[in-house]
Chains A and B, each alone.
Chain A
Amino acid sequence: MRDFVQNFPLFSIILCLVSSSASSLLKGKAAKWVNTVLICVVGAMSLTLTFYCLAHGSFTYTMGHVPAPWGNEVRGGVLEGAMGTFFCLIMLLSMTGGRKKLLEEVEDTKQNLYYILVNLMLCSLIALVYTNDLFTAYVFVEINTISACGLIMIRQNGRTIEAAVRYMIMSLLGSGLFLVGICLLYDITGHLLMSNIKESVQALVESGQYGEPLLIAIAFMMMGLAIKSALFPFHAWLPDAYGYSTISSAAILSSLVSKGYIFLLIKIIYRVIGFEVVRESLLLNVTFVFAGLGIIFGSISAMREDDIRRMVSFSSVAQIGYIYLGISLGTQVGMVAAVFQILSHAATKSMLFISAIGLTDASNTSRKFKDLTGSAYRNKIAGMGFAAGALSMVGIPLFSGFISKLLFMQAAVANYGKMLPTMIVLAISTILNAIYFMKTVVRIYSPERDLYKGREGFKVIHTREQIEYTCTVILFIALNVALGLCSEPILELIGKGLEMFA
């Protein structure tokens, strides 16, 4: 008999599945409560699991009555538990922050369908975090893709549907490549479970057999996941998808979906192929180049943008570039930096989206910078949130962005060959970030001109009219500051988790 806590991954996944199919029978309001309770329960379970793993170490949990190489398996560890908790937290905040918009933009009869999609999204994220089996990962990646597509097009205007089509095409390409990679790996190792594949891969590397298929398999899997998480040359679907969907979807997509894939990639690098093997191959250099280009390109595109939400979306491209940069530095420190950047970016980007919608609401739902002048005075709490997010993005101390930049610098110093380009890219992007985010902050805080006084839609939104929203933004700011101030224990946690991975 195992400890009861070890059943929690199974319970959280099954709970998500059952509640999502039950929500199809419920009305919108009941589905909303089911969703909220579900996220809280799953988050609490993951938190318990984290503390359990800190005390007892990681464990594997067989899904069924047969042991490892025959049945499916789930693995729990510190990093998995922490990631699960964090994903639940961000999802809860994104949902509460965008609820008012959701009621406006989604038809009443389709409200419960939205919550079904969110539940399934949470299920797939949790499963991607915990799974120890490559094919299970593929199946849940598909659930993730389809529900993300649903989240994009729930607000049906032409733009979102076009974005959804583009998103689907790109991510189906990605999953096709990922599947080919899995097939090749299965062919040369004969296993699908991560730990078993790792043993055979090490045997193969030592004997020198099947060198090229192994390399190609790794390359395909990395490419597939890179396409899905919108690394630089494959980011065409991103701005439309983030920029025009309803705000909860945008926050969830930008902060969780792509992060789920990146977490899977990190898992594959550590637990399937082995960090050394990946480092020996030259693939990390390729991702390094694309990551660097992505950072610069994303920042430049964001600078040229005239639309606040598209600007935030393009800055996502740059931030994903940072994460890949950390991965492709090929050191333990770089990986820690990448994982911390996942957390920090998820917290910051969803906050930026949520506060951007508050600003546009106070300005006749126009997203143009011209109309946003002085909007921070019209909606004070949203202005505060946006300013905090912008400061964090630029890397001002006290906020989480600073710590992640610091970690990247440390990681770059540790890697001799890639130090100079990393430093240059970081410097350029910090300057660009500062330009476009500060420009926006100055714009929203510049005093109101009389021009807008009498115009329709430009209204002052008081805090008492939007209590749920205010609480969300305050929690977001608190989370961000907490990540920035208490980074030491979190970094320790990440380091421990990564050690348990290997």
Chain B
Amino acid sequence: MNTNLLNNYAEAVSMIIFAIGFTNLLLHKNLIKKIIGLNIMDTAVYLFLALKGYIKGHVAPIIIDGVVEPEAYINPIPSGLVLTGIVVSVSVTALMLSLTIRLYKRYHTLDLDEISLRLKKEGL
């Protein structure tokens, strides 16, 4: 069944981190921690993706001395995709943090459930 699990231990670790981030996102009441969990989740996916491009014994895809054989370099595609992904995650983080600041200024708490409780009380 799990034939490659031991070989793919790095992927397994990335998936475990993904699950940890996911749990963080679901469990924590605190918004800041939720955001960190979200970031951890994203980075885990990127690690998973970057591992796809790695080939044993090959070097980084920067052409040295005009050698252009596929046997020399690792797969460049995942690197490019992860680069795009990192940009996405930093912009999302900035947006979430600014939302946090606004929410805190309004309700002086970081707990989403408590905020909705208060909203009910206010009857808005």
Contacts and interface: CB of A to CB of B under 8 A. Distances in A.
Judged by CB atoms under 8 Å, the answer to whether A and B touch is yes
Interface of A: 135, 139, 142, 146, 149, 153, 156-159, 161-162, 164-166, 168-169, 172-173, 176, 179-180, 183, 186-187, 192
Interface of B: 18, 22, 25, 31, 34, 38, 41-42, 45, 48-49, 52, 77-78, 81, 84-85, 88, 91-92, 95-96, 99-100, 102-103, 106-107, 112, 115-116, 119, 124
A158 B99 contact: no
Given A162-B115, A169-B25, A176 B45 contact: yes
Contacts of B95: 146, 149, 168
B119 A162 contact: yes
A114 B59 CA distance: 47
Nearest to B34: A169
* Interface pairs A-B: 4 shortest CB-CB: A158-B106, A183-B49, A142-B88, A165-B99
Q: How would you classify the secondary structure of chain B's contact residues: helix, strand, loop or mixed?
A: helix
Among B81, B91, B107, find the residue whose CB has the most chain A CB atoms closer than 10 A: B81
A474 to B, nearest CB: 34
A273 to B, nearest CB: 19
A153 B92 contact: no
A172 B78 CA distance: 21
Given A159-B124, A162-B103, A183-B49, A135 B119 contact: no
Main secondary structure on chain A at its contact with chain B?
A: helix
A140 to B, nearest CB: 11
B99 A187 contact: no
A399 B38 CA distance: 44
B25 A165 contact: no
Contact of B106 (A146, A161, A169): A161
Contacts of A180: 18, 45, 48
Given A158-B119, A179-B45, A139 B88 contact: yes
A183 B49 CA distance: 6
Given A135-B84, A149-B95, A172-B92, A183 B42 contact: no
Contacts, number: 72
Given A180-B48, A183-B48, A187-B52, A162 B116 contact: yes
A164 B88 contact: no
Contacts of B112: 162, 165-166
B92 A159 contact: no
Q: Of residues B42, B92, B119, which shows the largest number of chain A Cβ atoms within 10 Å of its Cβ?
A: B92
A164 B107 contact: no
Contact of A161 (B18, B22, B85, B102): B102
B38 A172 contact: yes
Given A146-B91, A161-B103, A180-B48, A168 B96 contact: yes
A383 to B, nearest CB: 27
A135 B80 CA distance: 11
A173 B99 CA distance: 17
Nearest to A158: B106
Contacts of B34: 169
A159 B84 CA distance: 33
Contacts of B18: 176, 180
A14 B49 CA distance: 29
- Which of B18, B91, B106 gathers most chain A CB within 10 Å? B106
A165 B95 CA distance: 10
A70 to B, nearest CB: 10
A153 B99 contact: yes
A206 to B, nearest CB: 21
A161 B119 CA distance: 12
